[in-house]
Amino acid sequence: MCGRFGQARKITELKQLYAAEGNIEWPGSYNIAPTELAPVIIETTSQERELKLARFGMPMTIKGKSFLLLNVQSEKAATREDFKFRRCVIPADGFYEWEKVSPKDRQPYYFSPKQGIFSFAGLWMQGRTGLCFTILTVSANELVQPIHGRMPVILGHNAVYQWLAPNSTVETLKLLVEPFPASLMQSWKVSKAVNSPSNKDIICINSL
């Protein structure tokens, strides 16, 4: 799954990369945790993209129990209402996965693109305290598989615009959901500094 990621670029750069508008304050973070704000890109009906801040995780209550929906399995996403009407892209420098070394010991790894930036496919909603989002997941590719069985849905450059376009059909959207090629990614072990959500520093991504 994807429960922690980093995004340390400035808003001006993100606006350029995604041809998006929007004036938001973003200090950058190498360790974005659930409930925390992150920049997301949404396409408005006017076919213009806008950067907004949204919280990681959709508050859900099901059968009396509430929890944060951090991820949605892409295999099950197409029937959701938000899949049809509230898609977003989450820019990320990289994401973290934890390897179960033993029942009590988990080793974090950092996964990042060899070039450029990751664009996670996401869904958003209006929560009580503002916008919030969830990240779609897919089966892990060969690079991630040894560490964890799932990974975020990562969109290529062209796929980003199709994903965001309000008039894309469900059939078109389904084609965009595929494991990102392992050959375009890299990974390394990182220290457990990332474990603590209060550490936002670059040391989170330093190779161990």
Chain residues in the site for DNA (CB under 7 A): 1, 3-4, 33-36, 57, 60-63, 66-73, 76, 80-82, 98, 100, 106, 108, 137, 148-150, 192, 195-198
* Identity of the residue, 6 or 22, whose beta carbon is nearer to DNA in the bound complex: 6
Residue 65 CB, nearest approach to DNA (Å): 7
Residue 13 CB, nearest approach to DNA (Å): 24
Q: How wide is the angle at C-alpha 179 spanned by C-alphas 39 and 48, nearest 5°?
A: 35
Q: Which residues are catalytic?
A: 2, 97
Structure tokens at 63: 């059968």
Structure tokens at 179: 């494991």
Alpha-carbon torsion 21, 25, 27, 32, what sign?
A: negative
* Identity of the residue, 20 or 140, whose beta carbon is nearer to DNA in the bound complex: 140
Contact assessment for residue 10 and residue 4, using Cβ atoms and an 8 Å cutoff: no
* Identity of the residue, 12 or 103, whose beta carbon is nearer to DNA in the bound complex: 103
Residue 160 CB, nearest approach to DNA (Å): 22
Residue 53 CB, nearest approach to DNA (Å): 14
Residue labelled with tokens 């994903």: 163
- Report how far apart, in Å, the C-alpha atoms of 140 and of each of 14, 103, 106, 153 are: 26, 22, 18, 9
Can you spell out the DSSP letters for 34-52?
TTSEEEEEEE-TTS-EEEE
* Identity of the residue, 21 or 105, whose beta carbon is nearer to DNA in the bound complex: 105
Contact assessment for residue 125 and residue 106, using Cβ atoms and an 8 Å cutoff: no
